[in-house]
Chain A
Amino acid sequence: MRSARGVRVWLGAALAALGTSLAGQAPVIPGAPTGQAPAIDLSGYWTPALHEDLMERGPGAEIADYGGFPLNEAGRLWALSYDPSRVTLRHHQCEAYVAPYQMRALGNFRIWEERDPHTQRLVAIHVWAQTTEGHRVIWMDGRAHPPAWAPHTFRGFSTGRFVGNALVVRTTHMKNGALRRGNGAPQSDQATLTEFFTRHGDHLTNVTVVSDPVYLTEPMVRSSDFARQPVDPGAWLYACDDGEQILDRPDDAVPHYLFGKQPFVNEFSTRYKIPLAAGLLGAVTMYPELGPRLSTATEAEGRALLSPAAGQAPETSKATDREPRDGEVHVLPVRDNVYMLVGDGANIVVQTGDQGAFVIDTGEGKLADKVIAAIRGLTNKPIQFIANTSFRAEHTGGNARLGDAGQDPSLLGSFFVTAAPRGVTGAFSDPAAHATMMAHVNVQVRMQAANAPAAAVPADTYLEDRRRKFHNGDAIEFFYQKDAVTDGDSLIHFRRADVIVAGDIFTTTQYPVIDLKNGGSVQGEIRALNEILKKTVYRHQGEGGTYIVPGHGYLADEHEVLEYRDMVVIVRDRVKAMLDAGATLAQVKAARVTADYDTQYGANTGAWTTEMFLEAVYNSLRTRR
């Protein structure tokens, strides 16, 4: 008894000593990145103070009210082309907010910590926004950001660290979306976000710094205030389901305004008696210099800002290169047993399972050995099938090497082996030494016409709208697109994994390579993009769900295809309007009808330039209207 009391006294005194001693030191966070300040508690229920931008954050901002935004020409024109009724399109209806705008949203917010149950180390800080059910995860465990070819989400990928009295957050991999609500001011998928969260008592301030090389000339800084609430508001959801808003609208109708034809452009300036140019001048509108600048602004200057500046060469893409170009082949898991291989020209898809590998497209072939090694790292089964979405060299360059590295055991001893067509891949004639290659028949025809080696030419072809195959536990469907970028394109859908391989019908890196000489057309390209959209199902608030592997660029979902489809339709409409008015190709090019997309997709050099794209659209419309 006496001894036990003694121990308690000793323990108590020692703890008191320890506590007093530690009170003068910064706590040590086990496993925290070196140099990081200790965590500050941001958790709780928070309500935004709507004492700034109430109208914008509620009903929405007015058309042509882009003041206070450092929009470049592309951003301004994108916004002026925007028709708010675009949200009546089914796929746009439930789109969530991108992270910076999410922090400006109405509704309730909740912040909580996620800690490792064993070490109590801070793993992540979660932010839940009621509006659009926006769930942000801010990783605090020092993990790296994903590669450039990884999927984007509306909230992006965020990592954080504490610096002084602030949580500093860096976010990448956001989708494109609205920089400002409802009036079209855009944020691109190339934007990055730096944030500072700081707390003064029950007042939380979130500062967002958006850098967007596609649409902004300098960072866009905003701050939002939140009040801590002691009681759970019990309102955290934001139900949304899309549906038909306008019946019988054609699939290729996307609401927008031609440059200079936005009918409501004067409403804002007229209502508030400010010059038209005031809301259109970009970065200067943020600064005290706006007043002196407007003293010389004229109506003509404002009008000129409604259309692309004349006499300029097209802008070029400001996007980050989304392909590694490091001489290596990188493997990105997509879903289930489907993988995307990046690094050798066009994206390659590999499906694995208890049967042989099913490979879609084979890249340029320059890194074929590394592609084969990467596939062998995913499965010990042979490459059994190779399918091509197109005959283009970036998709078929590795056919022969990958084909030779594989075999199709389903044909060994088959009665039909000897019935192989002559002069095409050996899969049928010698299945033990070669994978079976599949594609639309036009791929075979085009490759043979180009004198491609027999070992590279698909033998197992299809002629009509659909080809199907069950392999590795999944139903795989080929959908022929008769005149998209070429006359041999296939969309290939893994139904269980819900992954669509789009080939060059869809990329995130460039304007579609519409190859008129080989049967492509702008109308067919739009139809093909709509075919993808007819097969997709989003998981939540317009994102996730069906994955789409583009011919080039990052792994996408329906949102990226949707925006790409919108772009092609809008450019087509602009070219068509000029063509209908009798414009020549030179006049169409001079009008810079892609000015709002060139900083995303444009190129003035290389294999596929903006001018080549415009020429393809123009000639496609001229010859097939």
Chain B
Amino acid sequence: MSVTRTRLVIAAVLIALSFHARAEAQRGGRGGPPTPPSPRGAAPVDLTGQWVSLITEEWRQRQFTGAKGDFGSLNVVLLPPARKVAASWDPARDEAAGEQCKAYGAAGVMRLPTRLRVSWQDDTALKLETDAGTQTRLFKFGPPQGEGGDWQGLSTASWDYPQAALGGRGFGPAPGGSLKVITSRMKPGYLSRNGVPYSANAVMTEYFDRFDVPGGDPLLVVTSEIVDPEYLATPYWTSQQFKRETDAARWRPTPCAVR
């Protein structure tokens, strides 16, 4: 009986010690209440800087404006309503309507030949600018703020780590991390410049990963999924790669163009 009691006491002490250690670890040391780091301070990866797109896939469709009905690989995901809308694509009409930027919305601009500039607007928001079409996307950490409804919609950001539904013994925190951005409430625009549409109900989930190539330029790879029940039969999955650039002189903002 006495032995059992002693063992229980030891176990209780061990538990208490381990909880104490975890709490200390979260606080980052002794004393004071825990202060969660800002999103900027908690960034597991540095995505800032100037990046240039590497158009190595779906090359013709991305470097040139395809003919009407030339959907490329989008063929496999388009629903009939999307084909119908695309069949009525009229760049002159878009221009006349002042909607030259339909291909430069959040769901389209990342696949255009462009440069990106990524910077922290403040401790809670990353800003992504494109020189193609001179667009700005804002990735706000925390609850969604704003109404959206413009080309770039409403984006919420978080740092993403591999996660399990439940914890397990011996499994530590996931290493590394990605920027996860969910964008919705976009003004309807084009997935490609020849009028393949996405709707106001489209939701885009993106993961921004930085990969440091040994002996080479760092890469930014944006993996995206677009879900649009109005126009897409399945989620539309692509990944875009960008190479880090140090020559700021290559940044050449241009207005949106319909052709």
Residues in A lying within 8 Å of B, measured CB to CB: 2-3, 5-7, 9-10, 12-27, 37-38, 40, 49-55, 65, 67-69, 162-166, 168, 170, 194, 196, 198-200, 203, 205, 207, 209, 211, 219-225, 227, 272-274, 278, 285-288, 290-291
Contacts and interface: CB of A to CB of B under 8 A. Distances in A.
Interface in B55-100: 55-60, 63-64, 66-67, 70, 72-77
A51 B113 contact: no
A37 B167 contact: no
A519 to B, nearest CB: 47
Contacts of A223: 57, 221, 223, 239-241
Given A27-B172, A37-B175, 13 more contacts: A6-B3, A6-B7, A9-B11, A21-B22, A27-B171, A37-B176, A40-B162, A51-B77, A55-B73, A198-B207, A207-B211, A207-B241, A219-B213
B200 to A, nearest CB: 22
B57 A19 contact: no
A53 B55 CA distance: 12
A187 to B, nearest CB: 14
A492 B147 CA distance: 78
Interface string B206-244: 010101111010010101010000000000111111010
B55 to A, nearest CB: 5
A620 B210 CA distance: 56
5 smallest CB-CB distances across A and B, nearest first, come from: A164-B176, A13-B11, A165-B176, A6-B4, A68-B59
B209 A166 contact: yes
Contacts of B74: 51
A199 B75 CA distance: 26
A40 B178 CA distance: 14
B73 A54 contact: yes
B102 to A, nearest CB: 19
Nearest to A70: B56
18 contacts: A14-B14, A20-B18, A21-B22, A22-B171, A22-B172, A24-B25, A51-B73, A68-B56, A68-B63, A162-B175, A163-B176, A196-B221, A199-B162, A200-B223, A223-B239, A287-B52, A287-B53, A288-B114
Contacts of B177: 164-165
B135 to A, nearest CB: 14
A225 B76 contact: no
A95 B59 CA distance: 26
B181 to A, nearest CB: 12
A21 B173 CA distance: 12
Contacts of A221: 54, 56, 219, 241, 243
B170 A27 contact: yes
B4 A225 contact: no
Given A37-B175, A51-B77, A221-B219, A10 B8 contact: yes
A229 B127 CA distance: 35
Nearest to B240: A223
Contacts of A205: 207, 209, 221, 223, 239
B60 A272 contact: yes
Most buried by A among B17, B18, B115: B18
A491 to B, nearest CB: 41
A163 B219 CA distance: 14
Nearest to A198: B209
A212 B78 CA distance: 37
Contacts of B54: 221, 286-287
